[in-house]
Amino acid sequence: MGFRDRLQAKMSKHGGVVGLAKAAVRKAGGGSPETGSPAPAAQSLPALPKQAASDGFVAVGHSVKLSSATAMQVVQGEEAVAIFRTEKGLRAISNVCTHEDGPLGEGEVKDCVVACPYHDWRFDLSTGECLSHPGREVATFAVRESDGFVWLGSKTREGSGERGGAHDDGMEVLVKDLDAES
């Protein structure tokens, strides 16, 4: 079973919402929720609306649980999605890296760009573009918040289906060096 299958299975087991992966976010700004301040601690929260909105958006989490330091990782239908609170507002992209399926929701974010935690490929959270390897974009989704909930809409861009390619974190070199020493 590949990483993507394991991720999907884990998320399905938890009813679609895996939870909030702690991301080490280096943010440029601060202040209000719009500019990326951590959200206040959740108290007693209402249940998520079960019905989709009239325009098709689905409530996938509580606004207070989505801070600038934390990506919300959810599964909606067949899609694993990571939702980020950035200095530009909410952004939603595929949670599956187009290199080797790393969980982008666990990556570091800076200036609306996430770095995959596995090998550091970088993705623009607004466009899905892979900045380190053009042509390997991830899917993007419409997202908004209202009434205390985070709402996920439809896909706004398809992601690349390709996988594999260069590692950008030096691990291949390191592994070769270790092999040579043994």
Which residues are near ligand FES by CB under 6 A?
A: 97, 99-102, 116, 118-121
> Strand locations in the chain, DSSP E?
17-22, 58-62, 70-76, 79-86, 89-94, 108-110, 113-115, 122-124, 140-146, 149-157
**Closest approach of ligand FES to the CB of residue 32, in Å:** 31
Q: Which residue has the tokens 């390619």?
A: 165
- Give the nearer residue to ligand FES in terms of CB position, either 30 or 170: 170
For 127, other C-beta atoms within 10 Å of its C-beta total 16
Half-sphere exposure of 87 (CA within 13 A, CB side): 13
- Give the nearer residue to ligand FES in terms of CB position, either 92 or 130: 130
- Give the nearer residue to ligand FES in terms of CB position, either 102 or 128: 102
Q: Which residue has the tokens 């599964």?
A: 75
**Closest approach of ligand FES to the CB of residue 116, in Å:** 3
DSSP alpha helices (H): ranges in the chain?
3-13, 171-181
**Closest approach of ligand FES to the CB of residue 124, in Å:** 15
- Give the nearer residue to ligand FES in terms of CB position, either 101 or 137: 101
**Closest approach of ligand FES to the CB of residue 26, in Å:** 18
